Structure 1
Amino acid sequence: MVPTAASPEPSSPQAPHGPRQGLAALALGALGVVYGDIGTSPLYTMREVLNPANGVTLQPTDVIGAVSAIFWALMLVVTLKYVVLILRADNRGEGGIMALTALAVRAAGHTPARRRVLLLVGVCGAALFYGDSVITPAISVMGAVEGLEIVTPTLKPFVLPISVTVLTGLFLIQRRGSAAVGVLFGPVMLVWFAVLGIAGVHQIAMTPEVLQALDPLRGLAFLRDRGASLLLVVGALVLALTGAEALYADLGHFGKRPIRLAWTVLVLPMLALNYAGQGALLIRDPSALDNPFFRLFPPALLLPVVVLATLASVIASQAVISGAFSLTKEAIQLGLLPRMRVVYTSAHAMGQVYLPAINWTLLVAVLLAVLGFESSSALASAYGIAVTITMLITTVLTFFVVRHAWRFPAPVAWGVTAGFLVVDAVLVASCSLKVMQGGWFPLALGLALFMVMATWRRGKELLNAHVMGDDPPLRPFLEALAQDVGAPRPERIAIYPVSQPDVVPPALLHNLKHYQMLHARNVLVTVRFDEVPYVPEDQQLTVEALPAGFWRVLIRYGFKDEPNIPSALGRCARHDLQFDPFLASYFLSREVVVPATKGSTSGMARWRRQLFAAMARNGSSAADYFRLPDNCVIELGSRVQL
């Protein structure tokens, strides 16, 4: 529903994330979760921007110009776009590409065609996030471990095996959840940013002329002088911006004020000081370009800094991996992916989930990236294209929010977003030059995920249409049952979870056919996931009494809620439906999808039908997903040709 009053920052209820914490504590937590990725960018960004292959010299003018370009890119893209504008576009307190997509679709999707296009755009952004989830752990950990080469060149052969070991260990501990070590994220990153700033100040004090980089004209002149190499340099500048999407994605965990406070008070100043410090060092010693970050430190401190950098890179990776888990859960509940096993790793913090299938898939992809590219410099070529396309998609969706949800006039909406659209388009174009050097890797991952999501959604539409066409309508069926009063009914409750509430569940038909039995009370339960993060508990249930001892229950969840059918049914007493869990049996209809023959006109190519059938067979059980008790579930299946 579109708000009736225009507001640049509509108030929205915060998601139920437990006890309210103080602003300082939330800002400290944001350091670990939100800013891990962008906080480790100094490990490799300056080296790639000033790479001679980009047509850059190491003259003081170019070095100062590069520092200025990085600083003002942070100001324009991160501060103005994300901190000032995008954080305002919250979906009932939640952020991230899926939340923004749902908000834009709900506000601007007045026609089915527009809703479909906006949803496809959002799904594309979500799919590309998985490419980032692979590259970020690989480049962050390798960039940190490569500091060992500066400690002593004899350790260079150990960089790759140590990186593989660290990454493997990171994915192995995911099943234990991040709560145990999460309390350390904020303090470790606080130390990390302090080290970034102190190292930068030390170098700036020796070469203060680098502070000329605060003049934006120096950055513009640096970019103007690049000529034909401009896009190559801009593609390297993107490395300083990766992680900006995390500001918005973690909005629901921390809120606007802590994220903004952490950025303006600590993260931005420390990043600016460190980039300026690297520039000061390179003005004095151009040979430090091989690894300007670790060259900031004296030999005695190198090993502790390598350890600290590795910890920071692990934290940055953890944030992206956790984001992939959360995004997958949201995609499942929005009907974009098949059900998977979801493990809730915390009894206190909502949103902390672990998906084994995603975890092991990401591990394999990350190890392939590390072993295939072999260095952070090579990975830098693969980094950026997926992130920048996601940034562009975020800006496009934000336009529809500004125009239709906040109801600003079209000229204002275009004025707010047009500049960012141009910047994002330039970033995408610059990163596209690196497609053949490695950018194809995250794009291929994103394309594969997009095809999976599109195939699953289309297959479910066709399957639901098949069920609607083959199964009898519910109301006449119940009216006929109401006339048959002779058969005895066991004093139990039969629960039928169904996706289509207006037709007779196949499990009920099988029950009557094979067992010739009807329970005293029969409850048809339909779960709907709305395009909002959370649905308040008092608005989740709709209960309707039907003929012949039947009830229809609609349970509404948001795409971040934890679905639990028994828990929801336990609240039906206020609606005159008495539910005793010890008298309940759950009858599930399980359709085994079989790809139809070549002559089928199902609306999907044969290979997509085969893919959908494979996903349907291997998806997790509805009993597990909806928390049904194991000893009370009866599954009755049928084969469906699609």
Structure 2
Amino acid sequence: MSETATVVHEDSQSKSSGVGLLVAAVGVVYGDIGTSPLYTLKEVFSGHYGVQVNHDGVLGILSLIFWSLIWVVSIKYVLFILRANNQGEGGIMALTALARRAAAPYPHMSKVLVLLGLFGAALFYGDSMITPAISVLSAVEGLQLAFDGIEHWVVPISVIVLVGLFLIQKHGTARIGILFGPVMVLWFVVLGALGIYGILQRPEVLQALNPAWAVQFFVVHPGMGVAILGAVVLALTGAEALYADMGHFGRKPISRAWFILVLPGLVLNYFGQGALILENPEAVRNPFYLLAPNWALLPMVALSTLATIIASQAVISGAFSLTRQAIQLGYVPRMFIQHTSSQEQGQIYIGTVNWALMVGVVLLVIGFESSSALAAAYGVAVTGTMLITTILSSAVVLLLWKIPRWLAIPMLLGFLLVDSLYFAANAPKIFQGGAFPVIAGIALFILMTTWKRGRKIIVERLDETALPLPLFISSLRSQPPHRVQGTAVFLTARTDAVPHALLHNLLHNQVLHEQVVLLTVVSEDSPRVSAGQRFEVEAYGEGFFRVSLHFGFIEEPDVPLALSLCHLVELDFSPMRTTYFLSRETVIPTKRIGMARWRESLFAFLLKNANSNLKYFKLPLNRVIELGTQVEM
């Protein structure tokens, strides 16, 4: 479930070879799902679920894993979900924007879909904390097999590795990112080689390719069959990354990497671990590492740790990218976004998100102490996001696409059934340690909806005292104020009213500039906006102009740069002649109808600590005047 800092733009894709792009996709997209063999079978046979370590039990589990990879990842995500793109962009926020557009004729449905998408995005942050914790813990735990008495060092070593990973984020990952692809290719090759080594010892495990073994497992263990999906889902963690990173690499490289390298490597390794368990039932304590020869144990621990760091890096970077999208769409307060690469636009760093994730990850490692304990809590956020993705994509397919209903509905019902089973199997984990991602998701969902609702209320309150623009301009004709040279740009969300900053400036300074521009920045549901659709300009006379700048939800709203490309004879946006006027609202919680008092206080806190428009829109520091306004909620 991740996006990444290592971005390959469309223009560079054409210059890259197919093999190079495939290798890059392996390194970026498949780190999370690629490290799942470290802990999946160990958790399945840990004793929590009562699965017998015998011939039928092993083959039943292997069949469930194999056909889950085929149905959920290969068919649902690779062959279907990857086609539900928003102008080439994927991920839960891009899909939410697409679903909102599809359901536009049905306002109530559109609102429900947006709320579902927001909750899915909120669950992603919970998953962004669990993934690094469980991945690094499971890799470091391999040291227990090599050295006696090192158990008490596993948690400290894991914490050191993870803290180091978060500390380097602000310096960028471009240099180490070059290693992502080759290392992960080596990782999947080693997975496959170890799997083949194990399968040769007990070739009968290949019988699990027959789905009858999965069906038989459900028939013989009807109650356990559903519950065990709570562990089998660990093999699917990271499937959402296929969709989230589509905008970076395109559908074809991601699909080819899956079928050519990743899927074979994973299946071979799972079957090799299963063969080892059949040969030696005691190996269930850590079948991944015990599958390797003794001489290869320490190299495998080193390679596994490196692979889990790459997987964690992708998740962390995904949190940065998702946050930027949410900011652009108006669901998260504006934060300072630092670019860590002069070439790659997607390599960004958001300090607030980074440190919040680090605190959450360290607390998880210290609190759960082992990958097995974390695995019991894992899966709630993953399956919740998978189910929400299916629901949102169903709206897109049924309302936007032209696929025949007789074909689309059975397929979507199949996806919903499997996702619902996985979610139902993981739901009990909420009361067994899995409450953390749910609580984190609910908290973030409240923050996002409170911010969105609060901004809407502010606009409504300001509208109550707003002066219609035509009336204001007509009053200027009868009583013209003193005009000074230059261009004044007033940022405002309203397109038909006078900004409060303009009224305050006129009231206190008694002057107007020769050119007055009322600027509205519009964030679109699409990821990018073409240069021809960037501007909307309307002249009102008396030197007044209405300008709307449109940006996609993955673009940076650089207002001065965009205005410099606006070639109108009447307007001069040269830096030394342009002054930007901003209105900074201060919220006063009251008993007026709007939000609950505690949400109003929360919104006031978020507004106070949000990054200012000055930095967010990249306005020049020495050409900005901020005027305050108090708003009663």
Deviation at 1:482, TM superposition (A): 3.1
Q: Match for 1:354: what amino acid? A: Y
Measured in 1, the distance between the counterparts of 2:202 and 2:434 equals 36
Equivalence for 1:625:
616
Deviation at 1:161, TM superposition (A): 0.3
Measured in 1, the distance between the counterparts of 2:479 and 2:568 equals 30
2:246 is the counterpart of 1:242: no
- In structure 1, stretches of 5+ residues that fail to align are 1-13
**Cα shift readout 1:430-458 (whole Å, capped 9, x = no counterpart):** 00121111110100000001111111111
Deviation at 1:298, TM superposition (A): 1.9
Q: Match for 1:640: what amino acid? A: V
Measured in 2, the distance between the counterparts of 1:412 and 1:328 equals 36
2:574 is the counterpart of 1:580: yes
1:519 alignment partner, SS class? strand
Q: 1:506 aligns with which of 500, 520, 525?
A: 500
Residues 131 and 446, structure 1, Cα contact 8 Å, conserved in 2: yes
Q: Match for 2:624: what amino acid? A: V
Equivalence for 2:593:
601
Q: 2:163 aligns with which of 158, 165, 168?
A: 168
Q: Match for 1:64: what amino acid? A: L
Residues 23 and 181, structure 2, Cα contact 8 Å, conserved in 1: yes
Deviation at 1:299, TM superposition (A): 2.1
Equivalence for 2:3:
none
Equivalence for 2:260:
265
Residues 336 and 457, structure 1, Cα contact 8 Å, conserved in 2: yes
1:101-120 equivalences under 5 Å are: 101-120=96-115
Equivalence for 1:285:
280
**Cα shift readout 1:49-70 (whole Å, capped 9, x = no counterpart):** 1223312111122112211211
Measured in 1, the distance between the counterparts of 2:158 and 2:218 equals 34
Measured in 2, the distance between the counterparts of 1:33 and 1:15 equals 14
Equivalence for 2:365:
370
Measured in 2, the distance between the counterparts of 1:412 and 1:454 equals 36
Residues 454 and 600, structure 2, Cα contact 8 Å, conserved in 1: yes
2:192 is the counterpart of 1:197: yes
Deviation at 1:592, TM superposition (A): 0.7
2:42 is the counterpart of 1:50: no
Deviation at 1:479, TM superposition (A): 2.0
Residues 95 and 252, structure 1, Cα contact 8 Å, conserved in 2: yes
**Cα shift readout 1:96-152 (whole Å, capped 9, x = no counterpart):** 111111111101221322221111111111111111101001000101010110111
2:64 is the counterpart of 1:63: no
1:216-255 equivalences under 5 Å are: 216-255=211-250
1:546 alignment partner, SS class? strand
Q: Match for 1:305: what amino acid? A: M
The farther-off stretch of 314-323 and 102-111 is: 102-111
Residues 210 and 280, structure 1, Cα contact 8 Å, conserved in 2: yes
Q: Match for 1:309: what amino acid? A: S
Residues 461 and 632, structure 2, Cα contact 8 Å, conserved in 1: no
2:498 alignment partner, SS class? coil
1:572 alignment partner, SS class? coil
Q: 1:77 aligns with which of 60, 72, 79?
A: 72
Residues 127 and 449, structure 1, Cα contact 8 Å, conserved in 2: yes
Equivalence for 1:208:
203
Equivalence for 1:483:
478
Q: 1:521 aligns with which of 505, 515, 520?
A: 515
2:558 is the counterpart of 1:567: no
Measured in 2, the distance between the counterparts of 1:182 and 1:502 equals 48
Residues 587 and 633, structure 1, Cα contact 8 Å, conserved in 2: yes
Equivalence for 2:629:
638
The farther-off stretch of 444-453 and 349-358 is: 349-358
Residues 523 and 551, structure 2, Cα contact 8 Å, conserved in 1: yes
Deviation at 1:19, TM superposition (A): 5.3
Deviation at 1:154, TM superposition (A): 2.1
Residues 501 and 627, structure 2, Cα contact 8 Å, conserved in 1: yes
1:529-540 equivalences under 5 Å are: 529-540=523-534
Deviation at 1:506, TM superposition (A): 1.2
* Alpha-carbon distance change, 574 to 260 in structure 1, aligned in 2, over 3 angstroms: farther
Measured in 2, the distance between the counterparts of 1:272 and 1:562 equals 41
The farther-off stretch of 340-349 and 144-153 is: 340-349
Residues 325 and 553, structure 2, Cα contact 8 Å, conserved in 1: yes
Measured in 1, the distance between the counterparts of 2:12 and 2:334 equals 27
Measured in 1, the distance between the counterparts of 2:101 and 2:347 equals 26
Deviation at 1:153, TM superposition (A): 2.4
Deviation at 1:16, TM superposition (A): 5.2
Measured in 1, the distance between the counterparts of 2:10 and 2:61 equals 44
Deviation at 1:18, TM superposition (A): 4.3
TM-score, L = length of structure 2: 0.97
Q: 1:555 aligns with which of 536, 541, 549?
A: 549
Q: 1:592 aligns with which of 583, 586, 589?
A: 586
Measured in 1, the distance between the counterparts of 2:107 and 2:222 equals 45
- In structure 2, stretches of 5+ residues that fail to align are 1-7
* Alpha-carbon distance change, 314 to 360 in structure 1, aligned in 2, over 3 angstroms: same
2:513 alignment partner, SS class? coil
Q: RMSD of the TM alignment (CA)? A: 1.4
Deviation at 1:214, TM superposition (A): 1.2
1:336 alignment partner, SS class? coil
Equivalence for 1:158:
153
How many residue pairs get aligned? The number is 625
* Alpha-carbon distance change, 53 to 452 in structure 1, aligned in 2, over 3 angstroms: same
Deviation at 1:23, TM superposition (A): 2.1
Measured in 2, the distance between the counterparts of 1:511 and 1:17 equals 45
The farther-off stretch of 540-549 and 245-254 is: 540-549
1:54 alignment partner, SS class? coil
* Alpha-carbon distance change, 412 to 575 in structure 1, aligned in 2, over 3 angstroms: farther
Equivalence for 1:493:
487
The farther-off stretch of 236-245 and 630-639 is: 630-639
Runs of 4+ in 1 over 4 A off after TM superposition: 14-19
Residues 282 and 288, structure 1, Cα contact 8 Å, conserved in 2: yes
Measured in 2, the distance between the counterparts of 1:16 and 1:66 equals 40
**Cα shift readout 1:345-394 (whole Å, capped 9, x = no counterpart):** 22222222211111111111111111111100000011101110111111
Measured in 2, the distance between the counterparts of 1:115 and 1:312 equals 40
The farther-off stretch of 476-485 and 164-173 is: 476-485
2:456 is the counterpart of 1:457: no
Residues 530 and 556, structure 1, Cα contact 8 Å, conserved in 2: yes
Equivalence for 1:8:
none
2:332 is the counterpart of 1:341: no
Measured in 2, the distance between the counterparts of 1:530 and 1:17 equals 22
Measured in 1, the distance between the counterparts of 2:467 and 2:304 equals 63
1:291-440 equivalences under 5 Å are: 291-440=286-435
2:442 is the counterpart of 1:447: yes
Measured in 2, the distance between the counterparts of 1:41 and 1:449 equals 27
**Cα shift readout 1:539-570 (whole Å, capped 9, x = no counterpart):** 11111112221111100111111110001100
Equivalence for 1:6:
none
